[in-house]
Amino acid sequence: MKNISKLILTFVFGTMAFGFQAKAEDFPADIKPLMTKYTCFACHKVDARLVGPAYKDVAKKKYSVDKIVALIAKPQPANWPGYPPMAPMTVPKEDAVKLAKYINSLK
C-alpha cells in the first residue's frame, strides 16, 4: 500500500514539474487538452524547434490530414534530418485527426 501511494505521489509531482518546463499555453483551448493528454507538447511547440520540429514547419510540408495521422502512429525520422526520431504515438483516430487538422491550419 505504502509503495503504491509513493508511486502515485511521484507521478503527480513528476507531472507537475514537467508541466512547469514544457509550456502547453501556446496551443488554442480546444487543442491544448489533446496536446497535453498525448504529451505532444513536451516535444513540439507551435513556432519553435523543441525536441521535435515546430508545428508550423510541419505545416509547411503540406501533408494531407491522413498522412499526418499516419505519421503520428508511425513517424518517419528520415523526413527530419538532424532531429532525434519521434517515438510512435498511440492516439485514437478521432483525436489524431483533430491534431492533424490543427497542425495543417498553421501558417
- Residue pair 104/63 in contact (Cβ under 8 Å)? The answer is yes
Q: Does 32 bind ligand HEC (CB under 6 A)?
A: no
Nearer of residues 9 and 11 to ligand HEC, judged by Cβ:
11
Min dist CB 66 to ligand HEC, Å, is 12
In 3D space, the residue among 94, 91, 101 whose CA is nearest the CA of residue 67 turns out to be 101
Site for ligand HEC, rule CB under 6 A: 38-40, 42-44, 51-53, 58, 61, 68, 71-72, 75-77, 79-80, 83-87, 89, 91, 99, 103
